[in-house]
């Protein structure tokens, strides 16, 4: 027969103060208890005496812990983990003594199979009219799964913390520019012992001078929540003012209602040093190659210049020996004498041209070469030079035509050097154009510039050598010889006038050299040098003889 307990159950939505109002009512405690247990889903209720004995077997707890009514322990302490018994008994004592109205505790309870379940327990006393204790009323909620999740979360947090601690990279969280988290590696990298030494500090204190704009760009990434930024490089300053190169990736995230930024920074200082060393090594290797190339060019130049000097000297020496022989044989006459004199004169011109070019190119390199400017009709100057060599071109079977869109154009220029430029270009055109070919000299002018175009239909220049024809001592492999100075000197003279020269060419289709001289701002800048005295101009015929010395013969 079930024991009748003179008490009333407390419903979940019932005020506990109403318990005494219904104490006179007699209910079957077991029936009423069963009713409530079946209708409360998450809360389990037990009635225990002060000594811990169960007044009624709690069916839900029996089922949850794997017991039945026959083998269920009679006392709550029998299923409580010993580490929690002392703590809960102390709380119960405070409840009985009246110093507490209720207490709550998270406790461990043994299942029948020996496993542990976790419960959140809330307890208070139910008293009789005479204020004596009737029983202890207990609410219990199974939080085993919650504790498992909590333990798993703690384990995950522990692993993440360990991972962050052993990471060599800086991991930092910022809130409004203040450091709220930094890992051990970050603290060490910045020159601090502990991460706590940095908490609350402004991150801008660690940004190197001149990196403010970069830091602002990095900070903008938090505008896109959960979007990882592209890697960015910036420099930071350590606690000892040492500068480090860092690579940073960043992501903004919501921390509650606040926007924060997570940054991972990798120290690439050594990488930068290695890159600098590699770049320096590449530069040195390039300089070495350039030095080798320069040495090769120098050797080729010396070989060419030796040949260029030796050839006319050999001719002159040969003529002198021949004249000496003829004189000794008394067979020297005027016609043979004149022929040999012309031959010596031509080779003297060749020597003079070569020496002049060498001297002038050296002066240009040293900055001593002077352009003597004066007002000059550039159209007439170029036309006169062209006409002066037209007969010679005709003698080679080459048609030389001059054309212009204006009859007169006054510019400031060094007329002698302009003549030298045009003669050199015309000489090359004649040298590399076969009999029956054409050379066209065209002039165009605007308010700002004068353009001189010298176009031939000769042998042309290979595409892979167009880029080197204006370089010092470089020659196109055409078998025509030369010192490799002429076009380099032409380019320098044009540039000293504030102009430029370009070439368009195709093998077997000829070449076109285009000289542009500016009559506007650039010419006025050069005009300041006009004050120097103008030396007496050489005879135009002699200039042609000198510039054409390697192809000209009377």
| CATH code where residue 528 lies | 3.30.565.10
Burial 535-554 (b: 16+ CB within 10 A, else e): eeeeeeeebbbbbbbbebee
Pinpoint the alpha helices (H) of 204-268. Answer: 212-219
Structure tokens at 132: 């004596």
Q: What's residue 92's pLDDT?
A: 93
Identify the CATH number of the domain in which residue 314 sits.
1.10.287.130
Altogether, the residues listed in the chain come to a count of: 554
Residue 273 lies in a domain: no
- At a CB cut-off of 8 Å and minimum separation 6, what does 424 contact? 486, 487, 489, 490, 547
Residues 245 and 335 in one domain: no
Q: What's residue 494's pLDDT?
A: 94
Q: Determine contact, residues 519/376, Cβ cutoff 8 Å.
A: no
Residues 430 and 478 in one domain: yes
Taking the C-alpha atoms of residue 236 and residue 179, their distance in angstroms, rounded to an integer, is 15
Burial class of 530 by CB neighbour count within 10 A (0 to 12, 13 to 18, 19+): middle
DSSP bridge pairs for 202? 178
Residues 469 and 343 in one domain: no
Burial class of 407 by CB neighbour count within 10 A (0 to 12, 13 to 18, 19+): exposed
Left (φ > 0), alpha (ψ -120 to 50) or beta: where does 25 sit? beta
Residues 307 and 210 in one domain: no
- End position of a domain, from candidates 337, 361, 385: 361
Torsion sign (Cα): 359, 364, 370, 374 = positive
Residue 2 lies in a domain: no
Q: Which domain holds residue 55?
A: 16-144
Kindly report each contact of residues 500-503 with a partner whose C-beta sits within 8 Å and lies 24 or more positions away, as own/partner.
501/470, 503/461, 503/466, 503/469, 503/470
Q: What's residue 378's pLDDT?
A: 93
Residues 206 and 314 in one domain: no
Residue 226 lies in a domain: yes
Q: What's residue 369's pLDDT?
A: 87
Residues 97 and 198 in one domain: no
Q: Determine contact, residues 123/95, Cβ cutoff 8 Å.
A: yes
Beta strands in 407-526 (DSSP E): 410-413, 438-445, 449-456, 500-506, 510-518
- In the DSSP assignment, the letter for residue 34 is H
Taking the C-alpha atoms of residue 516 and residue 519, their distance in angstroms, rounded to an integer, is 10
Residue 53 lies in a domain: yes
Residues 432 and 491 in one domain: yes
Residue 283 lies in a domain: no
Phi (first) and psi of residue 483, to 5 degrees: -90, -20
Look up tokens 């269920």; give the residue: 72
Residues 353 and 375 in one domain: no
Distance, C-alpha 22 to centroid of its chain:
83
Q: Determine contact, residues 149/157, Cβ cutoff 8 Å.
A: no
Taking the C-alpha atoms of residue 48 and residue 26, their distance in angstroms, rounded to an integer, is 19
Hey, is 468 helix, strand or coil? helix
Residues 456 and 517 in one domain: yes
Taking the C-alpha atoms of residue 414 and residue 411, their distance in angstroms, rounded to an integer, is 10
Residue 78 lies in a domain: yes
Residues 376 and 339 in one domain: no
- At a CB cut-off of 8 Å and minimum separation 6, what does 42 contact? 141
- pTM here is 0.45
Q: Determine contact, residues 127/134, Cβ cutoff 8 Å.
A: yes
How far, CA to CA in Å, does 270 sit from each of 19, 245, 441?
77, 8, 61
Work out how many domains the chain is built from and give that number.
4
Structure tokens at 72: 């269920």
DSSP bridge pairs for 453? 442, 514
Residues 336 and 258 in one domain: no
Residues 492 and 381 in one domain: yes
Residue 554 lies in a domain: no
Secondary structure element (H or E) that encloses residue 264, with its range: strand 258-267
Hey, is 29 helix, strand or coil? helix
Taking the C-alpha atoms of residue 539 and residue 441, their distance in angstroms, rounded to an integer, is 22
How far, CA to CA in Å, does 22 sit from each of 6, 137, 222, 225?
10, 16, 62, 59
Taking the C-alpha atoms of residue 508 and residue 415, their distance in angstroms, rounded to an integer, is 33
Q: pLDDT tens track of the chain, all 554 residues?
A: 334 334 344 444 444 444 444 443 434 444 454 455 445 556 788 888 999 998 887 888 888 888 888 888 889 999 999 999 999 999 999 999 999 999 999 999 999 998 999 999 999 999 988 888 999 999 899 998 888 888 888 888 888 888 877 888 889 888 888 999 999 889 999 999 899 999 999 888 898 888 877 777 777 766 677 778 888 888 889 999 999 998 988 888 888 778 888 889 999 989 889 988 999 999 999 999 888 887 777 777 666 666 667 777 777 777 777 777 766 666 666 666 777 777 777 777 777 777 888 888 888 887 888 888 899 999 999 999 999 889 889 999 999 999 998 989 989 999 999 999 999 999 899 999 999 999 999 999 988 899 999 999 999 999 888 888 888 766 665 555 555 678 988 999 999 999 999 999 999 899 999 999 988 544 444 444 444 443 444 455 566 666 665 555 55
- End position of a domain, from candidates 144, 175, 207: 144
Q: What's residue 257's pLDDT?
A: 78
Q: How many CB atoms lie within 10 A of CB 416?
A: 17
Residue 162 lies in a domain: no
- At a CB cut-off of 8 Å and minimum separation 6, what does 306 contact? none
Identify the CATH number of the domain in which residue 49 sits.
3.30.450.20
- End position of a domain, from candidates 331, 361, 391: 361
Structure tokens at 273: 């040093």
């Amino acid at each position: 027969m079930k024991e009748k307990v003179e008490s009333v159950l407390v419903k979940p939505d019932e005020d506990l103060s109403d318990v005494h109002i219904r104490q006179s009512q007699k209910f079957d405690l077991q029936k009423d208890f069963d009713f409530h247990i079946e209708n409360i889903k998450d809360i389990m209720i037990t009635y225990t005496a002060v000594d811990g004995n169960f007044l009624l077997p709690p069916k839900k707890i029996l089922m949850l812990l794997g017991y039945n009514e026959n083998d269920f322990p009679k006392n709550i302490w029998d299923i409580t983990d010993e580490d929690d018994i002392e703590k809960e008994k102390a709380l119960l004592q405070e409840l009985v003594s009246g110093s507490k109205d209720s207490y709550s505790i998270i406790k461990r309870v043994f299942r029948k199979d020996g496993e542990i379940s976790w419960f959140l327990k809330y307890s208070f006393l139910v008293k009789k009219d005479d204020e004596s204790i009737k029983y202890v009323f207990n609410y219990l909620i199974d939080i085993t799964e919650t504790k498992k999740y909590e333990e798993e979360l703690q384990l995950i947090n522990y692993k993440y913390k360990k991972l962050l601690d052993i990471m060599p990279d800086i991991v930092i969280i910022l809130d409004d520019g203040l450091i709220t988290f930094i890992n051990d590696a970050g603290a060490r990298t910045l020159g601090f012992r502990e991460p706590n030494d940095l908490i609350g500090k402004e991150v801008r204190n660690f940004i190197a001078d001149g990196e403010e704009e970069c830091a602002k760009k990095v900070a903008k990434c938090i505008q896109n929540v959960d979007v990882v930024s592209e890697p960015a490089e910036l420099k930071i300053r350590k606690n000892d003012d040492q500068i480090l190169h860092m690579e940073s990736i960043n992501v903004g995230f919501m921390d509650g209602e606040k926007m924060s930024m997570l940054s991972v920074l990798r120290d690439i200082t050594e990488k930068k040093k290695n890159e600098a060393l590699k770049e320096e090594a590449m530069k040195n290797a390039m300089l070495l190659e350039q030095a080798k190339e320069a040495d090769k060019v120098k050797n080729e130049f010396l070989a060419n210049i030796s040949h260029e000097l030796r050839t006319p000297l050999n001719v002159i020496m040969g003529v002198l020996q021949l004249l000496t022989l003829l004189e000794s044989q008394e067979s020297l006459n005027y016609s043979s004498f004149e022929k040999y004199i012309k031959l010596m004169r031509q080779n003297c011109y060749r020597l003079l041209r070569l020496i002049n070019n060498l001297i002038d190119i050296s002066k240009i390199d040293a900055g001593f070469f002077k352009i003597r400017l004066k007002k000059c009709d550039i159209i007439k100057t170029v036309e006169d030079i062209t006409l002066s060599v037209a007969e010679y071109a005709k003698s080679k079977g080459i048609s030389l035509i001059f054309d212009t869109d204006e009859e007169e154009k006054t510019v400031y220029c060094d007329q002698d050097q302009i003549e030298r430029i045009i003669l050199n270009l015309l000489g090359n055109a004649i040298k590399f154009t076969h009999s029956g070919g054409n050379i066209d000299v065209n002039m165009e002018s605007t308010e700002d510039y004068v353009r001189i175009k010298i176009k031939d239909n000769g042998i042309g220049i290979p595409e892979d050598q167009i880029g080197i024809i204006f370089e010092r001592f470089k020659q196109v492999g055409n078998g025509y010889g030369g010192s490799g100075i002429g076009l380099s000197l032409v380019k320098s003279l044009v540039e000293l006038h504030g102009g430029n020269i370009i070439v368009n060419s195709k093998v077997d289709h000829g070449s076109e050299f285009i000289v542009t001289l500016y009559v506007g701002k650039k010419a006025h800048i050069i005009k300041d040098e006009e004050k120097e005295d103008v030396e007496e101009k050489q005879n135009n015929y002699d200039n042609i003889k000198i510039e054409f010395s390697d192809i000209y013969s009377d």
